[in-house]
Amino acid sequence: MTKLTNKKPKVLVTGATGYIGSHVCKVLFERGYEVIGLDINLEQNDVSKWVDRIIFADVRGVDVDEKFDAIVHLAGVISVEESMTMPSHYYDTNLNGTMNMLSQIDKDTHFIFASTAGAFDAQSPYAKSKVAAEDVIKEQAEGYTIFRFFNVAGSDGENMQQGNATHLIRIASECAAGTRSHMSIFGSDYDTKDGTCVRDYIHVVDLASAIEAAIATGPKNTPYECIGSGKGYTVKEVIETMKNVSASNFEVKMVGRRDGDPASLSIANQFDGLRITHTLDDMCRSAWLAELKRNGVL
């Protein structure tokens, strides 16, 4: 597979109105791509100005009768906690949805997949469904790049996470913005420097730019590529960072461990097209400002 030489490569982005998808659509559109969005939920971020058109459909059953230079498959369900009680829903959406999108490609289509760092220690049905999807991609796609995303956070100031908060920085930003009374730390007895889980975090704009770099340079065809900062932070460190950037001393409760959470996830096989331009402070500050904007404070 060679680099794309089209003047305006044509890219399909699934999950286009979601948190990551909206940022990806914006980056691609601003860099001259023809962007086609696909989503089952059009009531998240308004991406109308970042796409040439959008398809309202479910990735599990859609039949897109056209050719693309690349498909960026972001659509899926992502809650570790929910997956523990609804495993069939996670396999159906994340695995069967991926298999259906693979049926849309030809040998020249670059298939880019959003997997998870949870795949390194797959304890939840969510992580296991992503690993299964990775396996099928390697079997069926001639040209592919599998990205294992670490915890994605922050905002470009326009697009943001919608719906119920499930990730640490978003939850902390709600507390800092005063829309959540308190938050919990799930477990303080892990084998880490302060007893709380360690995770890597990446700003959503840096991630979107890395996806554009992958489209521009072509398929990697490796087992996976990581997108993360390369730095691990404990849950307590992230919360303290949010408190500092927002000048807010919100309430934090210590509770028991949560099923499906490994103690530490660290980066490996970093994608060479990733350029880190945002810090943890930037992620927390922009997430906090997004919550203020969501609630009409800004």
Active site residues: 126
Buried residues in 196-233 as b, exposed as e (16+ CB within 10 A): bbbbbbbbbbbbbbbbbebbeeebbeeebbbbbbeebb
